[in-house]
Structure 1
Amino acid sequence: MAEKASGGVQSVERAFELLELLAQAGGQLTLSELSSLTTLPLPTIHRLLRTLVSLGQVRQLPNRRYSLGPSLIRLGEVANKQLGTLARPHLKDLVDALGESANMALLDLDMVVYVAQVASPHSMRMFTEVGRRAHTHDTGVGKAILAQLEPEQVRSIVTGAGMPTPTPKSIGNLADLEAELGRIRERGYSIDEEEQEIGVRCLAMAVPAAPTPMAISVSGPVSRVDAAFAERAVPLLREAARIISEELNLAS
């Protein structure tokens, strides 16, 4: 196999480029669509796809489209567990300092998936099961992640997943969501104002320079998660996000 000047194995890098393109497209593309998204020669794409199909990393569907394969599910589950293990001590620090539940979630196609949580010691607390998938437009972590993405990707995500409104305070259309994302970019963090559940407020912040879009959050009853709480929480969230980012990039 040829090696690039950087020391990377070229065929491996090219294979991962195709997997990334499939993931960014929502999981499925035709051969011609893949060809239009990369500078790789068509015979090279076809050869790499055949290899990935034989390994179970890619599937060829009856309609001739290519999709991400089942072998990636196991890899993803293990990676998510490792992310949760890395983040949990920092989430615990947030809980110890603030007294409210802390979470980490990452973008998984057009939804967010929670990969770690440390629960509040309060009897009345916010709880999210690790592994739960949720929409991006009505969650603190989801909006924090969307605010880091290009407008075209945001539209693709919310169009694919839909914009249900679980509470009267949920955002239900793209124009309102785009305006909210602008406010998030200005202040540097997102707020779930009872958009997932009445009576629960969440403050969330994206993890900068993460290898995949992700965010951390603290959540609790609106009676405790108020303006004074936010003043204490935002600097702590920012510092936790910075440390997690550094550890992720050191591990990569």
Structure 2
Amino acid sequence: MPPSRESTSAQARSGSGTGGVQSLERAFDLLERMADAGGEVGLSRLSADSGLPLPTIHRLMRTLVSCGYVRQLPDRRYALGPRLIRLGETSARLLGTWARPHLARLVEETGETANMALLDGDEVVYVAQVPSRHAMRMFTEVGRRVLPHSTGVGKALLAQFRADEVRALLARTGMPAATERTITSPDAFLDALEQVRETGYAIDDNEQEIGVRCLAVGVPGAPTAAAISVSGPAGRLTEAQTDRLVPMLKEVAAELSAAFDDGPAGQPG
């Protein structure tokens, strides 16, 4: 499992625990805190959250600004910078590459298309897919972006967040109906997320595309919110298949979690 924010912060303040460079640990901790805060934050909040003194934070932010990883706003707050976009896109591709062998095993065992998706801002983006042997074109394809309220992976991802965070996201995106089965009420969607937490899996039952059904689970301990799914024709991926497929999904999700922790092919990351 990746270290918690508390343990990472403690190591960043003390410089101990990793044998690394203290200033680098502190800088990456600040970047992650900025991401947690929505990408824009003031120095006072960073100081309060991290426990670092303002002069130290100011010095680190000045370095990050000069490198292009942070930019200063007119109101003197700081925002994540554009150079992080390339890093994020590359790391997302790598996550997809590492996931493919696990998704391939899922396809072999289930016979259905397997996907991996991440939450990127307010959208779900599919970063890996291994198609079923059965020919059928579906909305799930690598690089496709969709709103999370109408997909199984979206539910599995948002089930990891607090209700107020989910409501804020839905307020920003709206809840347009992709089909007549799409959930379009925030209260109904929060009820669906509670069911995801209780059962450990999410369902998209013709909600994004009529004729397509999907089962999804979150990937525990992933470096960013991630979920995997199997999707296929509703006539083949029936409710009766759920009890057989969900344990397979959870097993592969656990394997992916371990792979992300250790690095590709089980090698230390």
Same structural fold, with TM-score higher than 0.5 when normalized by the shorter chain: yes
Instruction: Name the CA distance, whole Å, in 2 between partners of 1:25 and 1:157.
Output: 14
1:173 aligns with 2:185: yes
Residue 74 of structure 1 corresponds to 86
Q: CA RMSD in A?
A: 2.0
Post-superposition offset of 1:127: 4.4
Cα displacement string for residues 197-233 of structure 1 (whole angstroms, at most 9, x for unaligned residues): 1211110000112121100001111111102322221
Q: Which residue identity lines up with residue 226 of structure 2 in the other structure?
A: M
Of residues 53, 58, 65, the one that matches 1:53 is 65
Post-superposition offset of 1:152: 3.3
Residue 35 of structure 2 corresponds to 23
Instruction: Name the CA distance, whole Å, in 1 between partners of 2:75 and 2:13.
Output: 33
Post-superposition offset of 1:119: 1.2
Give structure 1 stretches of 5+ with no counterpart: none
Greater Cα offset, 155-164 or 83-92: 155-164
Post-superposition offset of 1:49: 1.1
Residue 111 of structure 2 corresponds to 99
SS of 1:89 mapped into structure 2: helix
Residue 223 of structure 2 corresponds to 211
1:123 aligns with 2:126: no
Cα gap change, 1:15/1:161 in structure 2, threshold over 3 Å: closer, same or farther? farther
SS of 1:115 mapped into structure 2: strand
SS of 2:32 mapped into structure 1: helix
SS of 2:170 mapped into structure 1: helix
Greater Cα offset, 93-102 or 48-57: 93-102
Post-superposition offset of 1:118: 0.8
Matches within 5 A, 1:1-252: 4-6=15-17, 7-251=19-263, 252=269
Do the aligned partners of 1:88 and 1:118 also contact (CA within 8 Å) in 2? Answer: yes
Post-superposition offset of 1:14: 1.8
Post-superposition offset of 1:2: 8.8
Instruction: Name the CA distance, whole Å, in 1 between partners of 2:171 and 2:49.
Output: 21
Greater Cα offset, 183-192 or 117-126: 117-126
Do the aligned partners of 2:15 and 2:22 also contact (CA within 8 Å) in 1? Answer: yes
Instruction: Name the CA distance, whole Å, in 1 between partners of 2:218 and 2:13.
Output: 37
Give structure 2 stretches of 5+ with no counterpart: 1-11, 264-268
SS of 2:141 mapped into structure 1: coil
Post-superposition offset of 1:108: 1.6
Post-superposition offset of 1:110: 2.1
Q: Which residue identity lines up with residue 183 of structure 2 in the other structure?
A: I
TM-score by length of 1: 0.92
SS of 1:137 mapped into structure 2: helix
Instruction: Name the CA distance, whole Å, in 2 between partners of 1:179 and 1:15.
Output: 39
Post-superposition offset of 1:11: 1.8
Greater Cα offset, 6-15 or 41-50: 6-15
Q: Which residue identity lines up with residue 23 of structure 2 in the other structure?
A: S
Cα displacement string for residues 102-143 of structure 1 (whole angstroms, at most 9, x for unaligned residues): 100112222222110111222224242312222222211111
Cα displacement string for residues 23-67 of structure 1 (whole angstroms, at most 9, x for unaligned residues): 122222233443443322222222111111111111223343322
Identical aligned pairs, as a percentage? 58
Greater Cα offset, 181-190 or 151-160: 151-160
Do the aligned partners of 2:13 and 2:26 also contact (CA within 8 Å) in 1? Answer: no
* Aligned residue pairs, count: 252
Runs of at least 4 residues of structure 1 off by over 4 A? none
TM-score by length of 2: 0.86
Instruction: Name the CA distance, whole Å, in 1 between partners of 2:24 and 2:112.
Output: 43
